[in-house]
Amino acid sequence: MGVEGEKEAIKRHIEDLRQKIHYHNYRYYVLNEPEISDAEYDRLFHELEELERAYPDLITPDSPTQRIGATPLEEFGTYEHRIPMLSLNSVTTEDEVRDFDDRVKRLLGIARVEYVVELKIDGLAMELVYEHGSFVVGSTRGDGYTGENITQNLRTIKTIPLRILTDDGAPPLLEVRGEVFIPLRKFKELNKELGAKGEKMFANPRNAAAGSVRQLDPRVTASRPLDFFAYGVGRVEGREFSTQWEVLDYLRRIGFKVNPLIRRFEDIEGVITYHNEVEKKRDDLDYEIDGVVVKVNSIAHQESLGAISRSPRWALAYKFPAREEFTVVNDIIVQVGRTGALTPVAVLEPVQIAGVTVSRATLHNEDEVRKKDVRIGDTVVVERAGDVIPEVVSVITSKRTGAEREFRMPDRCPVCGAAVMKEGPIVRCIGVSCSAQLKERIRHFASLRALNIDGLGEKLIEQLVDRKMVSDAADLFFLTKSDLLKLERMGEKSAQNILDAIETSKQTTFARLLHALGIRHVGEHTASLLADHFN
């Protein structure tokens, strides 16, 4: 074999390695179903790296080795979308969704419309351009017509294929649209790492994603846990689609990560029902969503409906009730936890957030109050996410009048009067007989994830402690019916139910008991590990 023939054989081998690595990236990062071990994958990748090092003229932009390591940019260029990335009209009520359906049916002149419902990921919209199967340009949505060219950064996201997987030939041009986001678990890990290094932490996953994809140094982007869900296409040459459902299926087959919770419905009532189901389970997801996107399934119908102003007539965002609202801090009080930690809490002008009236929000600790510069009288942004205690996210300083008052952490426990001690950002009451700590320890002991003593609520625990009927959690097991009947609003049946619940709680696991004891630094997970080890 001559030199040219040998070079051609090496080129084919390199291409074969790339195809294998692209395929295994898809199995690992998109499907979460790896077919080979990490060691075997590393062997393939290192072999490709060695060959490209020996033959740099054979390196291509869509090679798996080109995800990381590009040189920093001085600034981002712009990219003009061939088809505008329009924004969606938003609605929040069932009546508005039905009005949308009526309008669509009237414009189309038909009695029933099929819809596709997609989760509205709280991330950043992106467009990825593929030419003959290779990723060539990636850009932000921008103003819908022109975005920033952030190709080098998007190459580093492992769920974005550098080359699509296809057996029937790649289209000459394919524009894929989707959302870049950071999963919640990864977001918490990222902030923990940033905090440990003394770097500024991100306020929420969306801000983290935005700050990560717009780094001039792609190596920084590569270090961030970014993910991508594809949800549609822009211009496509060489392939036609009849429905949005078909588009999503195609994107999934050629290697893109498509949200598995997308559904198809024959009428608008199915859409409304699913929206309500998703809202109930949103806190179980590992990414933030703020609603669902409703799309007319038929592409022909979409084209017939067209767009008005900057929004398509064939789609809308059906959003959940807001979880952030503005309100005023009327006071800042201090609560004492089961470990003695003093927590400043903002007493708020009551405000509705996601259907719940919020009148208090945690400020975490004194350092957090200082960092956010929260003062009594401030107008603030309050956030509520799932079962998490409402939190003051930020202060609207432009609303200040000069009458606001700064907060100072007390130098004695506000409940028992004992001295306090500062441990890093935490201020603790060191009183050994602090009733606030005792109440919280008992509440934790009886909580759902500990001994799960049904009926032993906050008001009952307060009475038991205030009347000195219990001095620690173990005293619960010595309570009698006559003891309980002395309490306010306690009848025979209620007293017996509580005693039965206390008796039932004895049939628990070692892990739950360890967790219930409330040992500092021994949470639910650590308790489970300890129980497994000593069992």
| Cβ-defined contacts of 184-188 (< 8 Å, 24+) | 184/285, 184/286, 184/287, 184/288, 185/286, 186/225, 186/227, 187/225
Alpha-carbon distance 189 to 160, whole Å?
A: 22
Residue 120 annotated in active site: yes
Closest residue by Cα to residue 17 from 64, 54, 58: 64
Letter for the amino acid at 272?
Answer: I
Q: Which of 120, 158, 319, 439 does the annotation list as catalytic?
A: 120
Closest residue by Cα to residue 386 from 475, 284, 472, 520: 284
- What is the DSSP track for 68-133? S-PPPPSS-EEEE-SS------EE-SHHHHHHHHHHHHHHHT-S---EEEEEEESSEEEEEEEETT
Q: Return the percent helix, strand and coil in the chain, to nearest 5.
A: 40, 25, 40
Closest residue by Cα to residue 234 from 130, 315, 320: 130
Give 444's contacts (C-beta < 8 A, 6+ positions apart): 338, 450, 516, 518
Which residues on neighbouring strands pair with residue 116, listed in sequence order?
A: 264, 295
Which residue in this structure is represented by tokens 């699509």?
Answer: 164
**To which H or E segment does residue 289 belong?**
strand 289-296
**DSSP symbol at 438:** H
**DSSP symbol at 380:** E
Backbone angles phi, psi at 394, to 5 degrees: -160, 165
Overall residue count recorded for the chain in this entry: 535
**DSSP symbol at 386:** T
Alpha-carbon distance 179 to 228, whole Å?
A: 6
- What is the DSSP track for 135-202? EEEEEE-TTSSEEEE-HHHHTT-TTS-SB---SS---SEEEEEEEEE--HHHHHHHHHHHHHTTPPPP
The alpha carbon dihedral of 61, 62, 67, 68 has a sign of: negative
Token digits of residue 110: 């038909």
**To which H or E segment does residue 23 belong?**
helix 3-25
Torsion of CA 126, 130, 133, 134, to 10 degrees: -90
Give 452's contacts (C-beta < 8 A, 6+ positions apart): 446, 505, 508, 512
Alpha-carbon distance 173 to 130, whole Å?
A: 6
Give catalytic residues, as residue numbers. Answer: 120
